[in-house]
Structure formats: C-alpha cells, structure tokens
Chain A
Amino acid sequence: MIRSLASRAAALPLSGRIGLALVLFWLVIAVFGPLIAPYPVGRFVDEEVFSPATSQFWLGSDYLGRDVLSRLIWGARYTVLLALGAAVLAVFTGTSIALFAAIRGGVVDEVISRTMDTLISIPSKIFSLVLVAAFGSSLSLLMLIAAFTYIPGNYRIARALAVNLVGMDFVSVARARGEGAIHIAWREVLPNMIHPLMADMGLRFVFIVLLLSGLSFLGLGVQPPHADLGSLVRENISGLPQGASAILSPAIAIATLTVGANLFIDALKGKGDS
C-alpha cells in the first residue's frame, strides 16, 4: 500500500511532487507540531515585540512578545485541520445534495437548485459573519459555518458534473439493471467526478483559509490565545511596515500551504485526464 502510494507520488510531475511535499510538511506540522513547539502558545516570553529572529526565538516575537514559531505551529494546526475539515465537509455535503438532485431530477432538483441559488447570492463573508455572531465561534461551529458557507458553491459545480454523468450510458445501464439511487450515486457517478471535485475542494480550502482570516479581520474566528494562520497575519499587521517576521512567516505559511495543496491536486487532475 505504502509502496504503491510512494510510486504514485514519484510518478507525479515536479510541480505535483513539490505540492505533495508542502502538503505533507504542513500535515506533519499540524499533527505533531504541538510536540515540537518550543513555548506554550499563549506564553509571553519576550520583553520586546516584533523582535527579529534570534537563537532563542527562531522566528522572532509577535505584537505581544509571544514566540512566533510556537504560534505559527499551532496556527498551522488550526488552519489545516479547520480549513481541511470544513472543505471536506462542504464538498461532501454539497456533492451529496448535488447527486441527490441530479439523480432525482424534476421538481426535487428544481427546489434544491433554487435554494442553493438563494444561498449563493448572499455575500459569503457577511453570511458567515451573521452565523458566527448568531451561533458563536467554537472550533466545531467555525468548521460547520465555513462548510455551510461553501456548500452552495460546491453544489453548483457538483450538480453540473453529476447531471452530465447521469446522462451517460453506464448510468442507464445501472438503471436498467434496477440499481437503486444510492448505488448509482456512489458507485457509478461519484467515482467519475472525483478529480474535478478534488480540484474544487482545493479551491474551497483556499477560500476557507481566507474566510477564516477575513472573519478574524472582522473580530471573529478562532478563540484566543489560539489563532489560525490568517489571524496571525491579521493580529500582527502593525508589524508589516517594519517587515516583522511575525507577519511574514504566517503569510508565507498560508501561501505555501494553499499553493502546495492546489499544485498537488492540479497534478493529480492532469494525470487522470491523460
């Protein structure tokens, strides 16, 4: 199993391998990061703020004099797990609904599509702002809200894919065999839309990372003293004029994480097409 995965990875184009490496790196950080973080995430360790990298604080200190490296590691954990979880949840739910709508067709499809249209036309940031304000911002709620915000977008894409596939002969074959809707959805249709769905998930992942940072800009988001990567950028933004490591490192972290994820998914897609 592992060997076959490794050989698959080796078969990826260079950009895909770079992407995979970045994703794996951040996954490892997310899972094992807390073990290697030099300081507790909320500890005030430096008298100075926005100090540059030193041997004691590898990435300097933040706007309150906390260790940037430790906060970055924890931030990566939140961002990766939260955004990934929300992206998976959004794509899973959106796609399930889309499959249901596409296979049932008719009025069911019309009603669901109209509802999704309604949700998609409400600006997502403001909508999630309302939801966070209404329900609070514990981790699980944040994940649910971020997922909920991006379900309609995924639905749109998944439904378009599914409607195409539902018209394919192999689905007719399954129908003629007497297969139920669930078999058709999960066995016949879904496997054929995995790649575009993955690509969509990659994009939604990026959007959710941005949404979380946008929420933190508006004063919501992950609860302190923890912070996701976007919030780290946000809370240290006053260090930007001096080019503080406290703002540059989380910004770079977001970029490598999201670009990595998408390079990897792009590469998978390219392989699947050929």
Chain B
Amino acid sequence: MTVEALPLSRRGFVSGLAGASMLAIGACSGGSGRRAPSTRGAIRVATQLSSTSDTLDPAKGATATDYTRHFMLYNGLTTIEDESLVATPSLALSIDSDDRRNWYFDLRRGIRFHDGSELTSEDVVFSLLRHKDPATGSKVATVAEQFEEVTADGKYGVRLRLTGPNADLLTVLSQSHFLIVQAGKADPDGTGTGPFRLSDFQPGVRTVVLRNAEYWIEGRPKLERVEVIGIPDEVSRVNALLSGDVHIINAISPHSTRRIEAEPSCAIMVSPSSLYSDLIMRQDELPTGNPHFVLAVKNLIDRPLINRAIYRNMSTIANDQPIAPFQKYFNAEIPQRMLDLDKARWHVRQGGLQGVRLPIYATAAANGSVDMASIIQEYGSQVGLNFAVNRVPADGYWSTHWMKHPMTFGDTNPRPTADLIFSLFYDSKADWNESAWKNERFDKLLVEARGATDEGLRAEMYGEMQQLVHDKCGLAIPVFISLIDGYDKRLKGLRPIPLGGLMGYRFAEHVWWED
C-alpha cells in the first residue's frame, strides 16, 4: 500500500459522509458586525478547559485546548483534513507498507522548524519513541507499545516496525499526540513545523501564536494571530462570544444554541461525533453482574427524552453500542432499543431485583452524566429500582470512581476507527474494559477483523460485534453527543470534522477572516 500526499487544495465541506441532515450549521441572516478584532486576522478562541496542566508537549495533550494549541504549532506524519476521516500524508511525502506491520515513511524535504533547523528522520524517530518512555508521561503510551522498532533510514527516511499488523496506523498517527517535535527536546517548547509560531504561553491563562510566514504549505495559514484562552464556565463563554470578546468557542451547551442563533452576527456549528457518555454496570459485581439487571436498565432509558431534554435534539440516539450511524461499519440491522418499562419490570422480577438500592456515580467530567443519572433514577423508581445519584467532583473522578463502583459513568472520546474503539474499551483484556464483560466470541472476532483484508467480511464481523455489545455488554450508551461550536460569522472556512469540535481542533490552519 502506498499513500501519496494529495495536492494541497481546500476541500468543499457541504457534501460528505456526515450528511446534510446532521450538519446543522446555525446561521442567521443579516446583522452588522459587533466589535472588530483589533488587528486584521487576529482572533481569540475560547475553549472550555484551561488549567496549569496546559502543556506544549503533544504527548501530554489532554484537552481540546491542548489539541488546538498543538495543531497550531506542530505537524504530524499524517493528517485528517475533512469529514471523510481518511488520513493523508502530511510531513511524510509518501508512506509504504506491504504487510501493514513494516512501514516506511519518506519525509518531505526542506521543511523547517520555527527556529530554522530542518526536519529530519531523527526528529521523527525521537518523536515516536518518546511515547514509550514512562518519563514522558504520554497519553498514548499504550498505543505506542505497538511500535516495536523505529529507525532512521538516511536523513529523510523512517522505518517503523509494529508488533502486529495495523491497517489503521495512518489514522492513529494523525492524532495530536503523535505530532512531530524536535529531536532531543524532552520537554517540547512549542518549536514545531506548524502554521503558527508561539508568542506567549501561560498555563491556565493564554496561548498566543503568530503566523508562521515560512510555513511549508503555500497560502496557509490565513490568520495573523490566534489567542487561545480558557473560559471554563459555559454561560460566560457564550456571553464572551455574544459580546464580541472572543470569535470562536467550543463546547456549547445545547441549551445555549438559541441564544447564539438569536444574535445575527454569530452562528453555531454542530459536529456530530461518536463521543458518548456511558453508564457502566460492572459485570464482576452484584447486582450489576446480573444479566437481568443490565437489560432492565437498558430498557428504562428514555433516549428521546435524553436527546430532547439534555441535548435539545442535537445528539444522535445510540443503541448501546459504540459505533455511530454515520461511522463506517455501523450495523443498522440491530433494532433500536427504546424505553420499555414493562420489559424493564419483567427483567427486575426475573432477576429478583425488586427494591435494589444502588448509587450511580455521575460527574461533570462525563458529559451530561449527572442529568442522565437523574433521568435513569426517575424511571428506575417506577420499576422498583432505587437508584441514588451520587454526583462527585470531576477532579479525582477517573482515578477514584470510574469503574470502581457497580454503577459509574464513563466518557469515551471519538476514535477514528472501529478497531480502536473495540480494542481499547471492549476487548476482555483491555485496561479500559469498563464493565469487565467477557465474551470469547467478541474477542475472537476483534483479532480476526484486524487482519481481514476483505472489506465485506470485515463489515460483517464488526456488525456482529456491535450486536454482541448491544445484547450482552454491561454498558448502556444512550446517545452520541454532538459537539457544538459557536463562532463569529466573519470567520470563514469552518466545517465540521466529526473527530472533535473546532474542526477536529485543526481550524486555525484553515479558516480566514472577512470583515
């Protein structure tokens, strides 16, 4: 397989996999502009999280703010630039692999870091291998475990040998964590090959970047200056957009969209995504390990209500399995599970679960989980299950509560491929097998699908795996949550990429400003 870099052109964004129905670009006609940004093409971005853990190290990136910052400063070997979610070469000129295990990357020539030094294979080898060093604290250390060997082959060639074949490697490498930093820099300082140079960085306060005039892609970027700040409070973030203090914001609550739509100079962009908050029912504990319990809970989830009340109809109703309808390999054959109190009652009776008392741990760290828990608690009380919502602080949640009680909420970010999501979260041996379910058939299919060359067969296997998760896994997935951004309409060129908000965090390189 050889992947060639595509000619650089801006793609249209209206058509595509996502489909127009899902693409709710809020737009209002007319309206004169509010306050203009101080310099032409200088914009301010407000994201929902910013703290002292803000980092310049792509390996440590943890928040939308981090990803956005990293994509402005660095480039990856590959990139995903549109809603097709196909990874294309970026710093690599071409990529070859015969067996999907041994990969050869041929780097572009003459690409320079912000300090003037040239990008070489040494930088790439360093950037890939540092994930395997525990001292780096990489977020994708587990993914990087499959890098069996990375070596330089001349100044511009890199060889990568995996522990096993992986068809999705190029997609994996397009993630922000695998962006390329300068060799030898254990603590990257923002010097990358990216479209912007770092001007000011204060963790928890702001990041300011200026246009990299020597950027290796002609005509990019179009903005002179981008300032990224964090406004953790959603209402404040929306107010800042409405008052013209910032020009683009992410993570808008569905309840705020009306306010933005009512303002003529602003608009919203909805990116459907496969992000989901899931209710975890541990299979290694009781009563959650009782199959009747799992089915009772799955049947008392009022998905349309969650979609309507919590997400103002901007989410996608899910079917207790992690592949969203707009994703490849989605199994449309599985009947949609709906609220069915009678069925739930029947399972409660069959499982001898009447009067069960159980806390559901919910947190602000898992999107919408507190309200979802309230809804489940409300319906649970109607079928004889006494749930208590236990809202716990976001900090400490993942280490202290997540998967540690019979019922907790998880929050799973979009993964570019079905294999990734299944192997990270559903493989019985996976660290994050949230519900601790074990299904031999599923595990077998997972391995087989990874190596399958026939697309039809692969689709069939992924379809069955979805059915298995839907039927047997201890996870309830009510909806897929769309990501909603708001922006000043003078900002042009935005289009949703289902990987995340703000065009999959890559907007800065693509958008431009028009008064």
CB–CB under 8 A between A and B in the complex? yes
Contact B371 A238 (CB under 8 A): no
Q: Is A44 within 8 A of B305, CB to CB? A: yes
Judge if A174 is at the interface, Cβ distance under 8 Å: no
CA of A44 to CA of B381 in the docked complex: distance in angstroms? Answer: 13
Contacts known (A219-B394, A223-B390); A238 close to B256, Cβ less than 8 A? yes
Q: Which of A40, A42, A49 contacts B255 (CB under 8 A)? A: A49
Chain B interface residue bracket vs A: 20 to 34
CA distance A40 to B374 in the complex (A): 12
Q: Which of the segments A14-22, A116-124, A132-140, A206-214 contacts the partner chain?
A: A132-140
Least CB distance, B388 to chain A, in whole angstroms = 7
Is there contact, CB below 8 Å, between A238 and B259? yes
**In whole angstroms, what is the CA distance A49 to B393 when docked?**
26
As a 0/1 sequence over residues 133 to 156 of chain B, the CB contacts with chain A under 8 angstroms (1 = contact) are 000000000000000000000000
The number of A-B residue pairs with CB atoms under 8 Å apart is 61
A64 to B254, CA, bound (A): 11
Instruction: Find chain B residues with CB under 8 A from A49 CB.
Output: 255, 309, 312
With a CB–CB cut-off of 8 A, which chain A residues contact B253? 238
0/1 interface trace, chain B 248-269, chain A, CB 8 Å (1 if under): 0000010110010000000000
B58: shortest Cβ distance to chain A, in Å?
Answer: 29
**Minimum C-beta distance from A23 to chain B (A):** 30
A163 close to B (CB within 8 Å): no
Question: With A47-B308, A64-B309 known to touch, is A223 a contact of B389 (CB < 8 Å)?
Answer: yes
Question: Closest CB-CB distance, B422 to chain A, in whole Å?
Answer: 32
The closest CB in chain A to the CB of B371 belongs to A64
Nearest neighbor of A240 in chain B, beta-carbon distance: B235
Tell me which residues across on chain B come within 8 A of A240, comparing CB atoms: 235
Query: In the complex, A17→B287 CA distance in Å?
Result: 55
Instruction: Decide yes or no whether A106 CB sits under 8 A from chain B.
Output: no
B393 to chain A, nearest CB (A): 5
The answer on a CB contact under 8 Å between B377 and A44 is: no
Report whether A241 and B371 are in contact in the complex, using a CB–CB cutoff of 8 Å: no
Q: Give the residue name and chain of the A residue nearest to B390 (CB).
A: A223
Which residues of chain A are near B393, meaning CB under 8 Å?
A: 132-133, 219-220
Min Cβ gap B164→A in Å is 42
B317 within 8 Å of A (CB atoms): no
The answer to whether the Cβ of A63 comes within 8 Å of any Cβ in the partner chain is yes
A221 vs B305: C-alpha distance in the bound complex, in angstroms?
25
With both chains docked as a complex, state the minimum distance between the C-beta of B278 and any C-beta of chain A, in angstroms. 18
Query: Main secondary structure on chain A at its contact with chain B?
Result: loop
Nearest CB of chain A from residue B259's CB, rounded to whole Å = 6
CB <8 Å contact, A237 and B235: yes
Chain A CB within 8 A of B343 CB: no
Closest to A136 in B: B392
Rounded to whole Å, the gap between the CB of B152 and the closest CB of chain A is 47
- Out of B305, B308, B364, B377, name the residue touching A225 (CB < 8 Å): B377
A223 touches B255 (CB 8 A): no
Q: Please indicate the chain B residues that have their CB under 8 angstroms from the CB of A223 in the complex.
A: 388-391
Q: How far is the CB of A90 from chain B (nearest CB, A)?
A: 23
B259 touches A224 (CB 8 A): no
The reply on A153 being an interface residue by CB < 8 A is no
A42 to B381, CA, bound (A): 11
Min distance, Cβ B125 to any Cβ of chain A, angstroms: 42
For the complex, is A65 an interface residue (Cβ under 8 Å from B)? yes
B362 proximity list for chain A (CB < 8 A): 224
A interface residues, tally (CB under 8 Å)? 22
Q: Are B373 and A64 in contact, with the CB atoms below 8 A?
A: no
In the complex, which residues of chain B have a beta carbon less than 8 angstroms from the beta carbon of A65? 308-309
Complex alpha-carbon distance, A137 and B370, angstroms:
14
Whether B375 sits at the interface, judged by CB under 8 Å, is: yes
Do residues B374 and A224 form an inter-chain contact, with CB atoms below 8 A? yes
* Chain B residue at smallest Cβ distance from A47: B308
Q: Given A43-B378, A238-B255, A225 and B389 touching (CB < 8 A)?
A: yes
Q: Do B395 and A224 touch across chains, with their CB atoms under 8 A apart?
A: no
Please determine whether A224 and B255 come into contact, CB atoms closer than 8 angstroms: no
Q: Which residues of A contact B373 (CB under 8 A)?
A: 224
Measured CB to CB, the closest approach of chain B to A44, in angstroms, equals 6
Instruction: Select from chain B the residue with minimum beta-carbon distance to A46.
Output: B309
A237: nearest chain-B partner, CB-CB: B235
Q: Is the CB of A44 within 8 A of B375?
A: yes
Q: Mark B350-366, 1 if CB is under 8 A from A, else 0.
A: 00000000000010100
Contacts of A220 in B (CB 8 A): 391, 393
Alpha-carbon distance A219/B305, docked complex (angstroms): 23
With a cutoff of 8 Å between Cβ atoms, the chain B residues found around residue A237 in the complex are 235
CB distance from B382 to the nearest CB of A (A): 10
The verdict on B12 contacting chain A, using a C-beta distance below 8 Å, is no
Q: Are the C-beta atoms of B235 and A133 separated by less than 8 Å?
A: no
A40 near B309 with CB under 8 A, answer: no
Chain B residue with Cβ nearest A63: B255
A161 to B373, CA, bound (A): 48
Contact residues of A between 115 and 174, Cβ < 8 Å to B: 132-133, 136-137
User: What B residues does A133 contact at CB under 8 A?
Assistant: 393, 395-396
Instruction: Write out the residue numbers on chain A whose beta carbons fall within 8 Å of the beta carbon of B370.
Output: 224
Contacts A224-B371, A241-B259 given: A42-B377 contact, CB under 8 Å?
A: yes
In the complex, whether B310 has a CB less than 8 A from a CB of chain A is yes
Report the Cα distance A225→B395, complex, angstroms.
21
Q: How far is the CA of A197 from the CA of B313 in the complex (A)?
A: 52
Provide the residues of chain A in CB contact with B305, threshold 8 Å: 44
Q: In the complex, are the beta carbons of A225 and B378 less than 8 A apart?
A: yes
Question: Contacts of B256 on A, CB cut-off 8 Å?
Answer: 238
Whole-angstrom distance between the alpha carbons of A132 and B396 in the complex? 12
User: 1/0 per position for B304-328, CB-CB distance to A under 8 A?
Assistant: 0100111010000000000000000
A64 to B396, CA, bound (A): 27
Contact with A along B380-406 (1 / 0, CB 8 A): 000000001111111110000000000
Residue ranges of B at the interface with A (Cβ–Cβ < 8 Å): 234-235, 238, 253, 255-256, 259, 302, 305, 308-310, 312, 362, 364, 370-371, 373-375, 377-378, 388-396
Closest 9 CB pairs of A and B: A225-B374, A64-B309, A42-B378, A219-B364, A224-B389, A133-B393, A238-B255, A224-B374, A65-B309
Contacts A65-B308, A137-B392, A219-B394 aside, 6 further interface pairs with beta carbons under 8 A come to A44-B309, A132-B393, A223-B391, A224-B374, A238-B235, A241-B259
26 contacts between A and B (CB under 8 A): A40-B378, A42-B375, A43-B378, A44-B309, A44-B375, A44-B378, A49-B309, A63-B255, A64-B371, A65-B308, A133-B396, A136-B392, A219-B364, A219-B391, A219-B393, A219-B394, A223-B388, A223-B389, A223-B390, A224-B374, A224-B389, A225-B374, A225-B377, A225-B378, A238-B256, A238-B259
